[in-house]
Amino acid sequence: MSREIYDEDHEAFRASVREFLDREVVPNMEDYAANHGLSREFWLAAGKQGFLGLEIPEEYGGSAAGDYRFNAVLTEELAKVNMTLPSCLGIHADIVAPYLVHLTNDEQKKRWLPQFCSGELLTAIGMTEPGGGSDLANLKTTAVRDGDDWILNGAKTFITNGASANLVVVAARTSPEKKAKGISLFGVDTSLPGFSVGRVLDKVGQDDSDTAELAFENVRVSNDDLIGPLDTGFISMMQFLPQERLGSAVTNLAHAAQILDETIQYAKDRKAFGAPIGSFQHNQFLLAELVTKVEVTQAFVDQCVLKHTRGELSAVDAAKAKWWTSQVQNDVLDHCVQLHGGYGYMNEYRVGRAWRDARVSKIWAGSNEIMKMLIGRDLGL
């Protein structure tokens, strides 16, 4: 079924993203995996193309697109290459960006945003903690006032871009007695004394992402590094999480749809018992089911993108999109591996790597179990 949410400007932007990826990125994917991270050349090239500043005001070097559909187009095209690209670039340009645009003061914008857009300043966000998972209200990282400064102590884990970021938006507890209402956000320069990167984590998939542990040992930050009003960090995180979850949904579905398209072609080309395997009735029925599932899901995700573009997407609908697309993605890719037979389990085949890369989508951005809890509470249960 044809999609109707994009116009000529969006499709022209899509073409420019594809051209960039074919020229600058696809030839280097094996190097990114070997080095467990995207190169600085990647970030600078993406910045030069204007892909990092879609949400950033023009006065700071961005394009201020004012239309989330451009974010979605970029995310879709990145996901067609692999899951790592939209996750790493998305953390920077789709997840951290709203914090730096909507919560910072003029001085902070001037300090951070121009280099954010150019790719010279790479960002990450420090929410998840060891032993904490999705329970953001019970953070253990603390920030204690010391004159005009704050002293940060604690640890974060599973941080995308963690080993290469120059600036980390860190959630820390500033008023312990207020519980969830006592959390604040800080922009932490990773060159500060006391900040350190622990392990670059050895993951099951997404080898080309530098997911890392971060430690803060008496890190002194200025009051000028406080992002947003004091003790409003948890509210801000809840405000911006729907966009993160929508971005995950867009990624999940685009990734699955691309591998499914490649699997359909494989089913046409691969022969067994003297006939293309796609001609066997079981495989015909299976592929028909998978294509229908992806297209029906696409219709819901497209409506979520439109609602978010208009500022109308609810946290509950974002949760529905996130958990459902990750389930569909993993179901589709598991069948794609099976249809490839033994070759599907080989790292040299894209489908096997895609299958490994996708498993985390049911865990990150809030586990699917947490998403279902949000939906259930909205039902009054």
Catalytic residues: 244
What are φ and ψ of residue 347, in 5° steps?
-65, -20
3-state secondary structure the chain: CCCCCCCHHHHHHHHHHHHHHHHHHHHHHHHHHHHCCCCHHHHHHHHHCCCCCCCCCHHHCCCCCCCHHHHHHHHHHHHHHCCHHHHHHHHHHHHHHHHHHHCCCHHHHHHHHHHHHHCCCCEEEECCCCCCCCCHHHCCCEEEEECCEEEEEEEEEEECCCCCCCEEEEEEECCHHHHHHHEEEEEEECCCCCEEEEEECCCCCCCCCCCEEEEEEEEEEEHHHEECCCCCHHHHHHHHHHHHHHHHHHHHHHHHHHHHHHHHHHHHHCEECCEEHHHCHHHHHHHHHHHHHHHHHHHHHHHHHHHHHCCCCCHHHHHHHHHHHHHHHHHHHHHHHHHCHHHHHCCCCHHHHHHHHHHHHHCCCCCHHHHHHHHHHHCCC
- Asked if 260 and 284 count as a contact pair (C-beta separation under 8 A), the reply is no
Neighbouring-strand partners of residue 144: 151
Give the residue from 213, 218, 152, 136 showing the smallest Cα distance to 187: 152
The Cα–Cα gap between 191 and 10 comes to 38
